[in-house]
Chain A
Amino acid sequence: MVTWRDFQRQQRVTEVRDTFISYLDEGQGEPVVLLHGIPTWSYLWTPVLGTLTRAARVLAPDLAGFGFSDKRDCFDRSIARQAELVDAWMDRLGISSAVIVGHDIGGGVALRLATLFPSRVRKLCVMNTVCYDSWPIELMLQFGHPGADRLLSAAMAMRLLRQALKGGFARRPPAALLDGLLAPYSTEVGKLSLIRNASALNTNLTTEIVPRLRSIDVPTLILWGEDDVFQPVSYGERLSWDIPGAHFVRIGGARHFLMVDRPHAVARRLNAFISS
């Protein structure tokens, strides 16, 4: 597995509005945009990247405030803003539309793109996504409290998150992967940025698009690690009922981070979906 430092070395960068976005751009063919969730960054996709880049041009940005994108304390990090930034970022890269794949809050961004910027989305795939009133989970609500910056040092926050994240995996994840996922947040600036990211989690930004879900008219795949304790599988079932023609697939033996728990199953499903 590629180390997070090597992954970071491969990242490109683009200024978008008043911020900058670091992103991976690998492979050739159909553009596929992978959107991570909280508290991770694009490194989360490492277990499936090798397979995906064989058949597609994979673009995996760090959302604003996440990973090695802009982490200053002066901009909105809501999924509404993130969708606008992804739209602007695609513009900067000259990508008119793409297969949009989102996990966790990245799925929330993907759903907003599909409902509010539909021309950007050629196909939609969401995985264990936030939706309806499935979020924010208790841990993130607490972490997003403005006082958390004063209560928790970066080192304490890392220990807390490391412990909490383990609940998202069906089996113990590789230590190097866990270290890598949290690495950008291990400084005080990184910790504060993650707190601000957590503060921006807002149920209304998925409930407001519920009436629009029926307007999604692109091929849609919903993948769900069925043992997820953060985003229960019942939400995936509800989404598949609301999005016309959506194909719902349960991934057994997987929790929230299904691309880590079952990388081959996820990559195979995704590749088939992209090339279908």
Chain B
Amino acid sequence: MFGSKPVPIAEHEARGDTSRIYHEIRQTLRVSGVNMNFRTWAGFPRFFPAMWASMQPIAASQEFESGADHVRGRAAELAGVLPAVPTGINTGESQRYQIRQALALYHYINPKLLLFTILVRRGLTGEAPAGAPADTELGPRVPFGPPARMAAMEMVSEAPGDRRLKRLFRDMKKTMSLPSVNSDYRTLALWPDYLEAGWTSLKRVVRTDDYLRATERLARDAAIVAERFPTPVNLDARQLRARGEDAEAVLEVTHRFEHLLPPLIVNIALLARDWWPGDELGRSPFPIADRPAGQKG
């Protein structure tokens, strides 16, 4: 599948520069954990620091936050016209609270990841943006740090001991052509009954033409939003090769994430419809006015 298969670096395995960059990712993207695309990119040590150095100023801007808000809003609209994916399972009060928090976390971060990935891909291919010149003024930056009420990015192992989860993960990978199970589903697997019911409902929807059109539409809209930002510099394949990095492998995983994220965003929006009133689903669960964790309000 890959030229040289990258070995993702888990948060607890990160050392040195990778550990520093993971911290900066959490702070800059206002998120409680490091998602799979970063963990995978971190497996390319001559690419990852350069990529982050180029992307951090863009990701830190309020403009980027606002762009992600726009993508999330579109995802809510697109998911709103697809069939509902009710789970109808009997969960406890604490479980419901935590499932909702988990969905809020990914509903918040995934649109940012999509924009981020599109920009990285453009940097890798040297594609110039149609709209934003390289010296685009990015404006004020977001307050750093995860919001006070954001859940921890907790997830089960990708190779769980639980037979039911194993079966579910296998089915997800096959149905959605995933090379590995995303953080989102591994988090929802903390409540296997919920994940199983949600996936059973989702599976019916993800096979429809309407769903395919919705995810393609979201990908196109996100690409248009990404035009607001300059292409990150120093990332094109020639420079990566000069640094001794496997540029083709980096580009391949980046393409793959760009392809996987729109369906993931729509899936989380579909699941979240069960938990938020329609008009709230399009809004950011963590608007930038929210104070970061640990700061007194």
Identify the A interface with B (CB < 8 A): 8-13, 18, 20, 22-23, 68, 71-75, 149-150, 153-155, 186-193
CB proximity of B205 to chain A, nearest CB, Å: 27
B293 touches A (CB below 8 Å): yes
Q: Enumerate chain A residues within 8 angstroms of B151, measured Cβ to Cβ.
A: 72
Q: Enumerate chain A residues within 8 angstroms of B93, measured Cβ to Cβ.
A: 11-13
Number of A-B pairs whose CB atoms are under 8 Å? 65
What does DSSP make chain B's interface, helix, strand, loop or mixed? loop
How many residues of B are in contact with the other chain, CB < 8 A?
27
B11 touches A (CB below 8 Å): yes
Contact with A along B241-270 (1 / 0, CB 8 A): 000000000000000000000000000000
By CB atoms of chain B within 10 A, which of A13, A189, A193 has the most?
A189
Identify the B interface with A (CB < 8 A): 10-13, 15, 32-33, 90-95, 97-98, 146, 148, 151-157, 190, 293-294
Cα(A68)–Cα(B98), bound, Å: 9
Which listed residue (A23, A150, A190) contacts B154, Cβ 8 A? A190
CB–CB A192/B92 < 8 A:
no
Cα(A193)–Cα(B91), bound, Å: 24
- Given A72-B32, A72-B293: A9 touches B12 (CB 8 Å cut-off): no
Chain A: CB-nearest residue to B189: A187
By CB atoms of chain B within 10 A, which of A12, A150, A187 has the most?
A187
Which listed residue (B92, B148, B152) contacts A71, Cβ 8 A? B152
CB–CB A9/B11 < 8 A:
no
Offer 17 A-B interface pairs, CB within 8 angstroms, sorted by A.
A9-B90, A9-B95, A11-B94, A11-B95, A12-B92, A13-B93, A13-B97, A18-B148, A18-B294, A22-B94, A74-B146, A150-B15, A187-B156, A188-B154, A188-B155, A189-B155, A192-B12
CB–CB A20/B152 < 8 A:
no
Cα(A232)–Cα(B96), bound, Å: 41
